[in-house]
A and B are shown apart, each in its own frame.
Chain A
Amino acid sequence: MAIKQRLLYLSGQSMDPRSPAISQALHEPIEGTIVEIDPTAKGLDYATVHDAVVDGWRIVHFPDQRGSVYDSDVEVIGFQFILEKLEEFND
């Protein structure tokens, strides 16, 4: 058994952690796993970043407070929070 870091990338509709979540990607600390679009998924695991925090996830990265730039050449949909959980995994 070893303590490992699970990472959850959650993008919110605003920088408010209670704003609706738009997208998610879960990175498990397991060799060989990748993050994929799951076409069988029914919605996201959490409705908001705050819901994930209530479930024990800890925010380790907050979105850039400068926000999005209207005339930017590229757009990223949503404001990304990165959260972690430290859990025991069998190696």
Chain B
Amino acid sequence: MTSSETGYLLNDDQVADFIINGYHIVKPSFSKNFHSDVYTALEGLPTNPGDAVNDAVPALDQIYTHPSVVGALSSLLGSDYTMAEHRHCHRNHPGTRSQMWHQDNLNIPMLEDGHGRVPDHVRSVLVMYYPQNVEANMGPTALIPGSHLFTSAPDRNASQGNFRDQIIATVDAGSLLILHYDIWHAGTANTSDKVRYMVKYLFERSTESEDPSWDHDSSQDTRILDRLEKDEAAALQRSLVSKRNYLRTKMWNNLAGSARLEYEYRDKWAGAWPQPVK
């Protein structure tokens, strides 16, 4: 990795945010018309090129070599991450209806982890690129923060609509939404009169971490461990909280290699007495 890319590495809190919430947004800087030109090129495609979308729109290659994107992906997957052959251009036209909440399919041959969910590591991420502004009525991607730590039951999720803590990815043109592969998400209804494009890629880890691949500061370990235990993503039943916290810490340790967090007993309860309720 070059020094210019190193400057774009995530810090401890950004990595903790990803572990807690399951997503991170990057907005690489390009010339004024770059993204609108990509949009125009996508509009001009006579058919869906499938995995060949980068051959059809070569400007897309520039996005994934931008230092801010390389820095974020290196932080989460290690600097020797790979881009999978599979990618897909989603064309969400006016009148498109909402998808159901789902985790993406595991039947992709490029995945090398035995096709199982990985709630305690970051082995692969989805990256969604939006070449236009996405307003709330244009079919933005919806996601449930923190849900990547759990395995969903699609047939039972079918009876769930809006979640109280759902995130609606209304983003500026050129934004990239990096998602843990297992996060529960859905494309929503496009009730506008505009076509919304999203080009989705899959990136994968090649090797296990020996050391943190992000801008790590071990003096923050106690605070980070506290965040992993206490920060809320989305509301869920109490019976899942201990499992959530265990998976968060295990994910951090799998990413950090030798810089794993060590649990040390500390007195959390000393201090002022509780006050009478008035």
Q: Do A and B bind each other?
A: yes
Taking Cβ atoms with an 8 Å cutoff, the residues of A that contact B are: 9, 11, 13-14, 20-26, 34-41, 43-44, 67-68, 70, 73-80
The reply to whether A38 and B243 form a contact with Cβ atoms under 8 Å apart is no
From B101, B144, B164, B186, name the one whose CB has the most chain A CB atoms within 10 angstroms.
B164
The reply to whether A80 and B161 form a contact with Cβ atoms under 8 Å apart is no
Q: Which B residues are in CB contact (< 8 Å) with A36?
A: 97-98, 161, 188-189
Query: Which residue of the partner chain, among B98, B157, B188, B236, contacts A22 with CB atoms under 8 Å?
Result: B236
Q: Which A residues are in CB contact (< 8 Å) with B239?
A: 67-68, 70
Complex-state Cα separation, A35 to B161, whole angstroms: 7
**Chain B contacts with A in 138-166, Cβ cutoff 8 A:** 139-140, 142, 144, 147, 150-153, 156-157, 159-166
Q: Supply 8 A–B pairs (Cβ within 8 Å), ascending by A.
A: A13-B237, A20-B164, A23-B160, A37-B161, A39-B170, A68-B239, A74-B151, A76-B152
**Chain B contacts with A in 87-140, Cβ cutoff 8 A:** 97-99, 101, 136-137, 139-140
Complex-state Cα separation, A25 to B163, whole angstroms: 9
Complex-state Cα separation, A40 to B170, whole angstroms: 10
Query: Which residue of the partner chain, among A39, A67, A70, contacts B189 with CB atoms under 8 Å?
Result: A39
Contact with A along B225-255 (1 / 0, CB 8 A): 0000000001111111001000000000000
